[in-house]
A and B are shown apart, each in its own frame.
Chain A
């Protein structure tokens, strides 16, 4: 039973399970879930690929991924609820971002760049959406080393054999 549970659907032909993720959000709170899932799946011995698209491509951007932010505006989930009128004030997004980075540090959680290092070392495929690069004027040298520039077709070809596919 154990062996059966371990083996993937066989679509990718090598008996390993496969996880295909789309990371579409360029916020601090939006960056963590796909990176955590990718690191976990790689630890389970799965093949993992993440398609970074639209603002999600900022997670792969050498400069921007250190500056990802979380906005209190329109976000009712802040621990101390911030009225939108207050959340719209200058400095409030920076304050919320500092707060979340503080939680992460206190909990010994890796930063986004550290999680990307874990992903790369674990063999996670990092697909950089070429359409996003064209639309937003991002070039290959702006991206983390190890990113694979690809269109939706290449990602879907990878995802077609996935056991688990998630859009984050």
Chain B
């Protein structure tokens, strides 16, 4: 897939409707838990996820593509990756 989404890297100050702590978890758990959390959100709502699996920097843009989410931000702060995902209409 060549059309990588390039998210605004540093904007972690976005308000979120739901926050998810996936620190200390490895693939596939951050994506699995994120998918479960998304089921609790309506279209337009924003999920904030914190991870410490460095693979998540590649995985969350892919998750956004596959689940038709908008990745509003993806940032790495001292080993913690923070993502904001907006759920869109199915």
Q: A and B: partners?
A: yes
Q: From residue 30 to 66 of chain A, which have CB atoms closer than 8 A to chain B?
A: 36, 39-40, 42-46
- CB of B58 closer than 8 Å to a CB of A: no
Interface size class of A (residues with CB under 8 A): 20 to 34
A40 near B34 (CB under 8 angstroms)? Answer: no
Q: Return chain B residues, CB-CB under 8 Å to A36.
A: 27-28
Chain B residues with CB under 8 Å of A108's CB are: 24-26, 29
Q: Which of B26, B31, B65 contacts A107 (CB 8 A)?
A: B26
Answer yes or no: B63 CB below 8 A from chain A CBs: yes
Roughly how many angstroms separate A36 CA and B67 CA in the complex, as a whole number? 18
List the B side residues contacting A110 at CB < 8 Å.
Answer: 29
Smallest CB separation, B17 vs chain A (Å): 20
Q: Which of B3, B25, B26, B35 contacts A43 (CB 8 A)?
A: B35
B65 touches A2 (CB 8 A): yes
User: Is the beta-carbon distance between A5 and B31 smaller than 8 angstroms?
Assistant: no
B1 surroundings in chain A (CB, below 8 A): 5
Does A1 count as interface, using CB distance less than 8 angstroms? Answer: yes
Q: Which residues of B contact A6 (CB under 8 A)?
A: 65-68
Could you tell me the distance in whole angstroms from the C-beta of A164 to the nearest C-beta in chain B? 12
Q: Does A3 count as interface, using CB distance less than 8 angstroms?
A: yes
B26 contacts which chain A residues (CB < 8 A)?
A: 107-109
Partner of A1, one of B3, B35, B63: B3
A17 CB within 8 Å of chain B: yes
Cα-based distance from A2 to B29 in the complex (angstroms): 24
Interface residues of B in 1-55 (CB under 8 A from A): 1, 3, 24-29, 31-32, 34-35
The B58-79 residues at the A interface (CB cut-off 8 A) are 63, 65-68
With both chains docked as a complex, state the minimum distance between the C-beta of A147 and any C-beta of chain B, in angstroms: 21
Q: How far is the CA of A39 from the CA of B31 in the complex (A)?
A: 9
A40-B28, A44-B67, A45-B67 are known contacts; what are 5 more A-B pairs with Cβ within 8 Å? A1-B3, A43-B28, A45-B66, A108-B26, A109-B26
Taking Cβ atoms with an 8 Å cutoff, the residues of B that contact A are: 1, 3, 24-29, 31-32, 34-35, 63, 65-68
**19 A-B contacts (beta carbon < 8 Å):** A1-B3, A2-B65, A5-B1, A5-B3, A6-B65, A6-B66, A17-B66, A36-B28, A39-B28, A40-B31, A42-B32, A42-B35, A43-B28, A44-B35, A108-B25, A108-B26, A108-B29, A110-B29, A118-B32
